[in-house]
Each structure stands twice: as structure tokens, then as C-alpha cells.
Amino acid sequence: MPHAEPITLDQAAAALAKGHATAASLVEDALARIADPAGEGARAFLAVHVEAARAAAGAMDALRAAGRAPSPWAGIPISVKDLYDEAGQVTRGGSVALADAAPATATAVSVARLQRAGFVVLGRTNMTEFAFSGLGVNPHFGTPASPWDRPTRRLPGGSSSGAAVATADGMGFAGLGSDTGGSCRIPAALCGIVGWKPTAARVPLAGTLPLSATLDSLGPLARSVACCEVLDRLMAGEAPEDVAAAPVAPLPVAGLRLGVLQGYVTQDWDADVTAAFEGALARLSAAGARVEALEVPELPEIPAANATGGFAASEAYAWHRGLIARQRDAYDPRILMRIERGARMSAADYLALRDARARIIAAIAPRTAPFDAVVMPTVPLAPPPIAAVEDEADYARINLLLLRNTTVANFLDRCAISLPCHRRGEAPVGFMLMGEHMGDARLLAVARAVEAALAAA
């Protein structure tokens, strides 16, 4: 029997409030989707907390019946990426190298905040090993396929691959991911959903397995901008009652000033991305947005600054070197090679990178300040087949292409979001909006306006 079309957090909360659904029914539906042998659940999840999720759902239903539900979203099931700590669970980071690690003694701060609001954690989602690739491929646990063109089995995007596939397929209402160079936004784009990267400092990293302490950001993948807004604000520490009482007010799209970033982010678009992105710009312009080309001459300085390896390679190697010494053969060789690039980066290289980043951030800030958002395609490609990255040269080439546009926001320490902009039935294409440093609330309001305009056109 086919499943119903997945709904948003707001729709689920309304159904719970009206008695049209229970937490138990939402959880059971999600568990059935995960367990469906014809679906991607076995590859999207590394662990499913069946009994714990059922118990939590029952508790939320009892609290709601007594008028004591901790938030409107109490009882709604979500998933967490396998780099968030959960008390009693082993945090493996999508790797077998940590299979024998001790279970976490405490739950990650961001996850605990959502649990206090009553969200039910269904389980732990698959990911690129140690979050070090934008493709979503995992040779240890299998690679979940993008929802588009399932018979071909196409890349889900990474590193939050399982979070994106689970959310797109209704295996929970959202998935918590992480974004160091695009790992929430890339899989959101390739799976046709919304992926949010907050300004890094907004959400505490405590209780998560790191890739790069400088660049790591924690954010949700969900079915709407409003869904991401709720989860982000709770993860950042806002009280549930405040989030419920004061949602971000959507803006009118008419009058918004959108800067279309020029330069290397405009290269190598495939036909699907070109058509969908240019069509989205035309629809936004017709709705009254001011769409303008934005030249940023400092943009090529970002890859030049990263040429010695960047923050991810150096900081990942500092964390991994002891584990590599003990468990080298357990690593995916493609990930190991990328981590070990950090061993060749000197302290002088690292300090030069840090200084270059500060200089580039300061130079670009006044160029983007007049705009409500900077926009570009999230990735230049529609989802390639998983088989297309079996060769190392193709793996490296496609990985760099998928990461190219999204890494701009991480390097500049900005917030950013990917929205689907393709027509129904077409290959998924992400429309990325980048805001200012700590301009998260403003960007969410702009994104809601853009989302509504694209849906209406």
C-alpha cells in the first residue's frame, strides 16, 4: 500500500493539536517506511531506535492528553546523523574504525534541546565516512540513493546522505546534519528538499564528532524553510514557547534585492541546473524581486587560500592521526587520502590560511551588504549516478564540483540555505541563498519569501 505524501512540521503539529494524528501514529508510519524492503531505509539508517522511539511517542501522547506537551512539536519523529552523540550509543561517524569505541555518556547539546521540546529521535543516519566528501558514498554501510530516478541509483550528496534520503522519503520529518563545506545543502539539493547551514557559532558543537572545528556548522534538512527555522532556533537554544509564539515573519518577495554571484560558481552547470536556476530567477524577477549580477573580485582568492589543504584537511588530520595509527586499514582509502593531506600542511601554512580568511571576509563583506541575499545554484550538477564515481579520478572531479559553490559560505562564515527550484517531475536542483555573518533570522525570512514565490509561479 503506498505511503501518503510526506508533510511538514507545521502540518504535523496541527494534526497533533486537532487530534487527527498521534505521536504513536507518526512514529509508526516513519518506522514502516524505514523497514520497507523496497525502500532505502536499510542504507539511510545505521541504527533504528525502534522501542525507544515508541516509548517516547507514548510519553508525548500522554503528556499532550494531560495538557502538558512540552511544545507543539512534541512527538514528531526526526533522525540524527551518525556524528551526533546520543547517550548509550556509539558515535561512529559512518566508519567501522570506531565500531569498538565506547558508547557516548551524554547526548549532544543540540539533540538534547530538541528532545526537551519533545521531538522523538528515530535513529542514526548514514553519512560519508567522517563527513569528508560531498558525494554521500559509503563503502562500509552502502549508499542510499537520491529519490530521483531510483532505478538508476543516483548520488544522494554528502556528507549528510542518510539524513537527506530519510527526510525526502518520509522516514521522519527532518534529519539533523552537519555542514563543513556543504554537507547539509548538497544532499538537500540532490534529494529535492531544504538544507540549512547556520552561521557556525549559533549552534554549539558540543557532543559531535568533528571534521573541522573552524568550519563545522550544525543544521537540519527538512521539507520547508519553516521546518528548518523551527529546528534551528531550538538547536540554537531558544525556548520552545518563544519559537512557537514568534515565528520568523515572511517577507514580500517584491523589492528583495538578490545578488547573483558571478565568477567560478557559474561554470560547468549542466542543462538541468541551468534551466531550473535561470527559470527560478525569471520567476522571482516577475514577482518583483530585484535580480542583479554580483561581481566579487576576491572570490578566486578562496580556492587559492585553500591550496595547501584548507582547514578541513589540517584539522581533521590533527583529530584522526592517533586513530589512523591504530586503525588505518579500517578507513575508506579515498577518505584516508583526503585526511592525510593535512599531514603535509605546516604551521606556517595554517597561520597564512587563517590570516587570508580574515582578509577575504573583510573585503567581501561590504560588497554583499547591500543585498538581501547572494544567490547561486547549490551545486552545478543534477544527481550523477553512483556508478559514475567508482573511478578515483571521477570521484575527485565530481566531488570538487559538488563542493565548489557551497564552500563559499563556510569560508566566509555565513549562513546559507538550499531550496528546491525545479519543476515537479524534473531532476532536483537546489537554489542557494547566502546571508551575512549572524544574519540567520533575516536569511530565513528571505528564504521563506523566495520559497513561496517559487511555489506559486
Q: List all residues 6 or more positions away from 350 whose beta carbon is below 8 Å from its beta carbon.
A: 314
Choosing from 71, 95, 159, 314, the catalytic residue is 159
Which helix (H) or strand (E) element contains residue 77? Answer: strand 77-81
| Of residues 46, 27, 320, the one with CA closest to residue 165 | 46
Three-state DSSP class for 294? strand
Closest CA to 158 of 172, 141, 173: 141
Please tell me the distance from the alpha carbon of residue 342 to that of residue 349, in angstroms, as a whole number: 11
Cell numbers standing for residue 122: 528515530
Name the catalytic one among 79, 183, 212, 217: 183
The stretches of 109-216 forming alpha helices (DSSP H) are 109-116, 161-168, 185-191
Distance of CA 351 to the CA centre of its chain: 29
Report the candidate in 423, 446, 302 with the shortest Cα–Cα distance to residue 374: 446
Q: Rounded CA gap, 200 and 341, in Å?
A: 24
Beta-strand relationship, 416-420 and 194-197: antiparallel
- Spatial neighbors of 256 by CB under 8 A, at least 6 apart, are 284, 288, 289, 290, 372, 373, 446, 449, 450
Per the residue annotation, which of 81, 160, 161, 197 is the catalytic one? Answer: 81
- Give how far Cα 70 sits from Cα of 119, 231, 234, 269, Å: 10, 15, 12, 46
285 flagged as catalytic: no
* Residue 71 a catalytic site member: no
CB atoms closer than 10 angstroms to residue 362? 10
159 catalytic? Reply is: yes
DSSP 348-361: HHHHHHHHHHHHHH
Packing angle of the helix pair 225-235, 9-17 (nearest 10 deg): 80
The phi and psi torsions of 324 (rounded to 5 degrees) equal: -60, -40
Q: What is the DSSP letter of 211?
A: S
* Residues with active-site annotation: 81, 159, 183
